[in-house]
Each structure stands twice: as C-alpha cells, then as structure tokens.
Amino acid sequence: MQTGRLGRGTAAQGGGVKKRKGERGEDPPPTFTSCKLPTQQKDPGFSRTMQLLWQRRSTDMDSLWDTDGCESGTEIFSRLSSAPLSSSGVIHVFHFNRHFRFHQLISGSSPSHDFVIRFLSACRADSEPNSLLGQSSEAERWIHLHSSAERRNMPSNKSVSDAPITQFVNCRILKDHKLQREDLWVREGRILNPEKLFFDEQGYADKRVDCEGSIIAPGFIDVQINGGYGIDFSQASDDVTSGFSFVAKKILEDGVTSFCPTLVTSPPAVYHKVLPQVKVHNGGPHGAGVLGFHLEGPFISVEKKGAHPEQYLRTFRSGRIEDLIEAYGNLDNVAMVTLAPELASSQSVVKELSQRGITVSLGHSVANLSQAEEAVKNGASFITHLFNAMLPFHHRDPGIVGLLTSDQIPAGRTVYYGMIADGIHTNPAALRIAHRAHPSGLVLVTDAITAMGLPPGRHTLGQQVIEIQGLHAYVAGTKTLSGSIATMDMCVRHFKQASGCSVEQALEAASLHPAQLLGISHKKGKLDYGSDADLVLLDDALNVTATYISGEEVWRKGP
C-alpha cells in the first residue's frame, strides 16, 4: 500500500475511491466544499475539539471525506492508514461515519498505537450528544492489548517532558466565561493545550480522571479571611505557623486553593510577630497557597471602625510609607492594605503602596465619592466589603459605593469590590443592585472569623470577644457584626441564589475576579492553557466534591 500523501480520489492512492452510483467519469472528484459538513449551529454534536481538528485539516486529503462509496469500515481505515499521522482529517472522518464501529474500522488492518491514541482522544473530547464517545471503550481495549511493545517504540510526550499527563474527562469546564464540555489536560502543574499535545508531540494521557459530569472551575481565591476553626490570624501566639497551616488545610474542603490571610486592627507588636512568620507560598496537599497578607487597618475611620478596637487605630503622620513600616514592621509578605482615603495624607500613601505592587482597598471609611475617586486615580483598586462600614448610598453623594458606576475611573482600570454573600451582611436586594451595576468587579469574600466551623458561643477576633448567635457573629454584648462564619462555597451558592446570576458568574466571582484584582490572572483564576491547574470540582448544586492544586488532588468528599 502506498504511504505517501493521498491524491484526490484516484484508485491508485489510498486504497482506491469508488465512484458513487450515477456518477459520470468526467465529474471532478469531491472536495471539502462539496461535502455536507455540520456546523456548530446546525449540529450540537460538532464540538469544539472537532472544530479544532477541522480547522487543521490538510487540503491534500479531500478524498478522505468522500466515504459514502466505501462498502466497509475496513476500506475506510485502509485508506486512512496510508495518510500522514499528523493529518487531523484521519480522526475527523470517523466523526462522520459513526455507523461503523471501531472493531469494524480496524478489521484486517494494523493501525499504529499512536493512530488509535488519537482516535481515542477525539472520542473522549468530543463528548457532545451523538458523538464518538461511545466508541472509546473499544479503542481502550485495543490499546490495552497492544500497548507494551508499540508504546516503547513510538514518539510520545516523553520526548518533551518526563512528567506524567493527567486527563480530566466527562466534565464541563469553566472557560471563556461559559461552561464547555471539554476534557482538561494537565502536566507539571499547569493546564496543557491538547491540540499541541496531539499534533506536535503525539502525546497521550498517563492518567485519566473521570469527573462523572462534574463542573470544573478555577480554584477559589479568598482575599479576606480572618481565621477559622478556632484559629485567629490576629493572635500573636507562640506557634503562629501551625494555626495558619491548619486553616489552610481545612479550607481546601470549601474549594479554596489560594487565600490572603487577613489581620484586623492590632497593636504593632502583633504585626511585628505574625507577618515575618507566614511567607507567600504555593499550595499543595498541606493546604491552600498564601498569596500575601491583607492588612485591614489600623489606618481606618473611627466612625466606621466596626469591630476594630479603637485604641489601636492610627493616622498617617508623615504621609509616607514609613508610617506603615512603623505599624507593620515590614511589607515583605503583604498583598493588600485596607485604609480610609479621607484620612489626612492618605492619598500619597495610596500612590506609594500601588507603586510597590500592593493592592490598596478602600474601607471602614466615611469618604465621599470625590475622595474615593481620587484614591482610585492614585492606584486604589478595591472596596472592602461593599456597603458595610462605609457611608450609606445617598443620591447627592453616593460615597464609596458610587465607584461602581463612576465615570472618573482611569481608562483601562477596573474597580473591584468585595461582597460577603452570607445572607447576613448584605440584603439580597443590595446584592442584586451591586452585581447588576458592575458585574465584572464583584469579588466574593468570606470575611470569616475564628468561629467559622465552630459551635455557637464566645470566641476571639483580634483584641475583641465575639459571640456567635445562629449564623450571626457579633461583638460580644452588642449587635455589631464582626465578620462571618460562612465558607466560600456557601457564599458562591448564596450569591447565585440571591442575585439570580448564572453559574458562570457565581464561580468567576470567587476565582477570576479576585485573581484579576491581585494581578495574577495570568496564572490563577482561569483554566487557560498555561494556567496553574488549581481546580475545584462541583456538582450541579455547586457543592464542592474535590479540590486540586497544581493538578494534584488535595481533597475529595467522602462517600
């Protein structure tokens, strides 16, 4: 059999192409343009994977598509086996000849292991209705029987990297703002481009994870969490790191893969002891990764201090970064600072923090809109728990809330805002107003305190005593809210239910938006090729079923 490139329908090439009945000898051979090929609009079964294969088709293989005249699957396969393995049309023909089973297609032929791997990959990826998915089991059995000898002799992904490849199948992945029925490929902790794997490396998966129809979203990122499970991040204990590690491990159950441990207003001695001990680090089986501290206070308004102890509040004396160094000791592991922009000399501090790459958030403040807009122009980009601990919206001066629709935001900039969607801190109507006014800026935060995961009673938050009553966390003896006891997955579910937003919007508010806020969306918060494989698997009710960091399973819900 000839092994060169196929011609355009001649019997001498590719095993021969029979003419259709009624076809006259002088008629030109069929071409791609004469084939009735489905489109995504007309055929839901024409998945994105198949579109990619179609786009990469070789114009030298027009004759492969004219298979109506072939009397058997063997004849089709014989013709295809003479084609270059790099041609995507080899696999694509199977998509339009589903009436031939896999065992019929290979009957009397000797396909290479790589050829079947490609066919199987297409079967798995093309998992739309009426797809090739049903043929994958037959191809898998062939691979099992023919794998050992051929795999040793074939080119594979090992020529590029010795790292194993994991393929997540039977899933819907959140990508490009919508859920897409595609497989997800991971190598060396990052999401892999399957097209390059198939065509450039002739690679295959070393491990498959059947997601059983689950949603795969980017791992959740919590930029405001004060502690939990009996641990208070603002307590300078003798063993700071073990407490942080315990919380980092527990929040894997909630789908959180990265977080900003938050310290509330505290005396300088607390900052000086805690900050140097908890470094920025990646997550893993030990727990969620630390992206840097969120320092909420002490440069906030006395009038809107909330649960922050007044005796430790500070103002800016020099209007320079030295004021913060004096309070915090250093800024080495700091990702975000919440401050009140109406404080004297605060604007110069906002500018200097932004220049250092530290996110500036506005909160616990009585600032008017113009003061808030000035802070944004100087680099501020976040609002700490919108509506809480700030001036209420007023039609003559909406205050910080007005940033959601301000026309004074510099071009190319986005103001993000945190929402505690626990059903306690914000009325559902207010949640809907904020989301509909500025949906792309909403960042879900837990603002969880030490009592998260603990029974009702009294607990500590920084220098305050907190009392848990039902789902409410109050400063003991008052009705002042002092954080929440909600987990991130609870916030995602409540946000979707209360706002009426889509599943995609709810998930992005806990993943994409916080990553964009912190300037790390090139590696986290997305499922793009090259992104970190920090993943959360959820059922249709948005309950977390498994959590992965760098492609490694770090938590799974028990039976």
Query: Which residues are identified as catalytic?
Result: 447
H or E element that contains 343: none
Beta strands in 219-327 (DSSP E): 220-225, 227-228, 231-232, 256-264, 289-290, 293-296
End-to-end C-alpha distance for the chain, whole angstroms: 54
Helix residue ranges per DSSP H, 290-377: 321-328, 346-355, 369-377
Name every residue whose Cβ is closer than 8 Å to that of residue 208 and which is 6 or more positions away in sequence: 166, 167, 168, 169
How far is the C-alpha of 220 from the C-alpha of 225, rounded, in Å?
13
The residue written with tokens 């689950």 in the block is 214
The phi, psi pair for 335, rounded to 5°, reads: -105, -30
Strand partners, 163: none
Question: How many other CB atoms are there within 10 angstroms of residue 456's CB atom?
Answer: 14
Half-sphere exposure of 265 (CA within 13 A, CB side): 25
Helices and strands (H and E) in the chain: how many: 16, 22
Residues with Cβ within 8 Å of residue 359, at least 6 apart in sequence: 335, 336, 337, 381, 382, 517, 518, 519
Q: In terms of DSSP bridges, do strands 472-475 and 359-362 run parallel, antiparallel, or are they unpaired? A: unpaired
CA-based torsion, 99, 103, 108, 109: positive or negative: positive
The CA distance from 389 to 363, in Å, is 7
Which tokens go with 29?
A: 């051979």
CB 79 within 8 A of CB 90: no
Taking alpha carbons only, the member of 316, 337, 338, 336 closest to residue 326 is 316
Ranges of H-type helices in 30-162: 48-55, 73-81, 89-95, 102-105, 113-125, 136-153
| Half-sphere exposure for 445 (CA within 13 Å, toward CB) | 33
Cβ atoms 131, 47 nearer than 8 A: yes
Sheet holding 472-475, edge to edge: 457-461, 464-469, 472-475
CA distance 388 to 461: 18
